[in-house]
């Protein structure tokens, strides 16, 4: 009898302990789910806030970016209206106005392309193309519009890749224009294109202001601009577009420090790209 009672007490205590363990376990799972949930909600609020503030900065800079070529074009046209201009002066004003229209055009294109990406409406038409020839052409144009800059080129000949021509041009142009913008006039920018272990590698090096490690990933996000780039013209869209287009072609883009100074951007494309999503 005593034995039976003792064993019931033991089994009751066991049962009680089991229940406590069960409640404790369930409580712990519930608590950790709650903590994860709160963290995720907080993180998405923070990201939303960051995006909103970046959009505000973007609106501010894009308005400025649109206004300045328009104002400059107006000035050139006003100059042309003056009667006593020499032929050379007329020529200079017309050329300056044309450069302004180019700037405006590029800006409009970047904004339009970013909107199309957002809406999932950016058509790409990949084909087998000689990307070495495309890059050489692209660099010729860059050199013509930046006659006072030194651009060193190491372009492996006849590299063929299955890619949308406009997309490859756009990637290269965004990287080179940034390299020129964020480095001093007297310094050189280097552009390399080569094949390496079945990959095609496009590298753009500058000796400019550089990018802090903590910002190296963020600069590929939409509208993201470093504080240090406040004094430079820009929209925070160029690298977002380049990253999107490289990834669409199953490639990867990254940035590292150029020693002792500046940045090296590298886009690596798998050589056998058969289809684009
Ligand atoms: P932006 O129009 O502002 O240049 P991007 O998307 O092309 O926009 O670049 C995002 C930011 O990354 C720039 O605002 C700048 O702070 C930084 N950045 C891009 N390229 C370079 C570079 N070559 N050297 C230093 N900073 C760079």
Of all protein residues, whose CA lies closest to atom 25 belonging to ligand 1?
Answer: 210
Q: What integer pLDDT is reported at residue 48 of this predicted model?
A: 85
| pLDDT band for position 62 (cuts 50, 70, 90) | confident
Question: Could you tell me the pTM of the whole model?
Answer: 0.77
Our mutation pick for probing the ligand 1 site, out of 182, 208, 263, counting the most ligand atoms within 8 A of Cβ, is 182
> Taking 60 as the threshold, does the pLDDT of residue 243 lie above it?
yes
Percent of the chain with pLDDT over 90: 57
Nearest in space to 170 (alpha carbons), one of 243, 242, 246, 104: 242
Structure tokens at 222: 């939409």
Contacts of 34 (CB under 8 A, 6+ apart): none
> Taking 90 as the threshold, does the pLDDT of residue 51 lie above it?
no
Contacts of 135 (CB under 8 A, 6+ apart): 155, 168, 172, 191, 193, 202
Alpha carbon of 243 to ligand 1 centroid (Å): 12
Could you report the per-residue pLDDT of 210-224, keeping only the tens digit for each? 999 999 999 999 888
> Taking 90 as the threshold, does the pLDDT of residue 3 lie above it?
no
Q: What integer pLDDT is reported at residue 30 of this predicted model?
A: 93
Alpha carbon of 236 to ligand 1 centroid (Å): 7
């Amino acid at each position: 009898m005593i034995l039976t009672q003792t064993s019931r007490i033991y089994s009751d205590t066991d049962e009680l302990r089991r229940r406590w363990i069960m409640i404790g376990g369930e409580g712990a799972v519930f608590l950790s789910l709650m903590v994860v949930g709160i963290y995720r909600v907080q993180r998405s609020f923070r990201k939303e806030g960051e995006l909103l503030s970046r959009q505000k900065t973007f609106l501010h800079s894009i308005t400025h970016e649109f206004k300045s070529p328009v104002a400059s074009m107006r000035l050139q046209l006003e100059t042309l209206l003056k009667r006593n201009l020499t032929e050379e002066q007329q020529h200079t004003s017309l050329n300056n106005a044309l450069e302004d229209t180019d700037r405006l055009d590029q800006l409009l294109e970047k904004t339009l392309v970013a909107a199309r990406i957002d809406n999932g409406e950016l058509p790409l038409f990949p084909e087998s193309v000689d990307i070495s020839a495309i890059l050489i052409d692209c660099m010729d144009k860059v050199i013509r519009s930046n006659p006072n800059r030194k651009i060193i080129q190491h372009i492996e000949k006849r590299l063929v890749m299955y890619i949308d021509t406009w997309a490859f041009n756009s990637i290269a142009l965004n990287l080179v224009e940034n390299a020129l913008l964020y480095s001093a006039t007297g310094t050189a920018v280097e552009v390399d294109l080569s094949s390496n272990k079945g990959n095609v590698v496009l590298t753009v090096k500058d000796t400019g202001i550089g990018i802090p490690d903590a910002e190296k990933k963020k600069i590929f996000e939409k509208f993201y601009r470093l504080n240090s780039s406040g004094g430079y013209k820009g929209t925070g869209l160029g690298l977002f577009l380049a990253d999107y287009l490289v990834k669409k072609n199953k490639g990867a883009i990254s940035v590292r420090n150029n020693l002792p100074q500046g940045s090296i951007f590298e886009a690596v494309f798998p050589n056998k790209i058969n289809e684009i999503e």
